[in-house]
A and B are shown apart, each in its own frame.
Chain A
Amino acid sequence: MKNKYDIIVVGAGPAGSITAKTCAEGGLDVLLIEKRQEIGDPVRCAEGVGKDALKKHIEPDKRWIAAEVKGSRIISPDGTQILMSGDAAMKDVGYTLERKVFDRVLAQKAAMAGVEVMVKTRATGLLRNNGNVSGIKAMYMGETREITASIVIGADGVESKVGRWGGIDTSLRPVDIETCAQFLVSNLDPGEYSEFYLGERYSPSGYVWVFPKGGYTANVGIGILGSKSGSIRAISHLQKFIDTFIPHGKIVEMVVGGVPVSGPIKQTVANGLILVGDAARQSDPLTGGGIINAMDAGKMAGEVCIKAREKGDYSVKTLKEYEDRWRATIGKELSKSLLVKNMVLKLTDEQLNQLAHSLDGMDVSTMELSKLLYVLFKKNPKLLWELRTLFN
């Protein structure tokens, strides 16, 4: 580890590794630090991604693909099923990843592009010069260091301290976080579709997911809104779901975690500082998916860092291009999802059943989510009136 770089990336998740790799490919001198001793472990994810979106960043590799899925099945409280497979032309639409391997491979790709990777290295604060962020304080194997850089990237996930040190308040209110628990369940045949169980019957203020993970296993998890957590926890809801619906299942791994569901936050850049991925609260408020957004944002951030270096200007004036780009793309989707999430939260089990029944006899299997929402809205305008702005 030197004591000076062009870019320091804090956090080796998908956001950090893609940012670091993009910067290095543009000729920048990059340090990527990860506080854990093993990148990607423990996992805090259900590991579901869309194939096409992933392929924009990395060639699929069986080392980190646990299972392929043909689409999603949404299950309403009375058991009515809605089958979606995205696009008729696409035979297989998604993967369940093995993130322990996936995250490490992404960091390796960054390393191959020239990035210096340091594990067991934790950022503990920021350095400043004339009010601008100019590097980090770090602890490596119990020793403190100061390392300078033109830009610091906060890719430190849901915990996100870097933004706060830089004056950006990223703290999540309980209503802005899904508190999640998941078991890797063995001794079941989950089929070839990712399943989503909606309604109070399965989970208050959230949903249960069952993602096939290959070899008679599945990630079975639950997310409940932080504001509803307290007297009953995500973990106890999950245990109840397993006991009731998958009593034969054998639990071989446990995952807990929080997903930011705030929707776009006000600020993600400061002088010499950029936030990406979960640190920038870019995960989807409706689905909880954040891997692809983290990678997309990382690419944008990296490209803007390269420009900043060319100009020799690391101020908000230049970095704002990142902010503009992600708001125009990811940000728009997040806002839409937030609207739908807030709507879904208000629906009772009966109303969810009514929505599912309104699709009776229709083939929605090849519809994108946006098209499905449109059809639901058309058939249930009163119930879904708040969503009308989505279709104007």
Chain B
Amino acid sequence: MSVNVNRYKCGYCGACVGVCPVGALELVETWIEVDNTCTSCGVCAKICPVGALSVVK
């Protein structure tokens, strides 16, 4: 379970990091990292201003 980041779309703003309830995301310069604590809840994908995230079930 995880999320996919479209790195070509992402504007590296960190908004998704702030909403992830389990702190699974990290913004490192221009890329988003997802760790294995992700529960695929979908909150990050919902709020991304550009729609760069999608949940993998």
Contacts and interface: CB of A to CB of B under 8 A. Distances in A.
A171 B13 CA distance: 16
A330 B2 CA distance: 38
A387 interface: no
A173 B13 contact: no
Most buried by A among B12, B18, B29: B18
Contacts of A114: none
Interface size of B as a range = 20 to 34
B19 A36 contact: no
A255 B50 CA distance: 10
Contact of B50 (A161, A173, A235): A235
A171 B43 CA distance: 11
A233 B15 contact: no
B46 A258 contact: no
Given A174-B19, A229-B46, A256-B49, A157 B14 contact: yes
Interface of B: 11-21, 23, 26-29, 43, 46-51
User: Which 4 pairs between the two chains have the least Cβ-Cβ distance?
Assistant: A258-B15, A256-B11, A159-B17, A159-B14
28 contacts: A35-B29, A122-B28, A158-B17, A159-B17, A159-B27, A161-B23, A164-B23, A170-B18, A171-B18, A171-B19, A171-B21, A173-B19, A173-B43, A174-B46, A179-B15, A179-B49, A181-B49, A181-B50, A234-B49, A235-B50, A255-B11, A255-B13, A256-B49, A257-B14, A257-B15, A258-B14, A258-B18, A258-B49
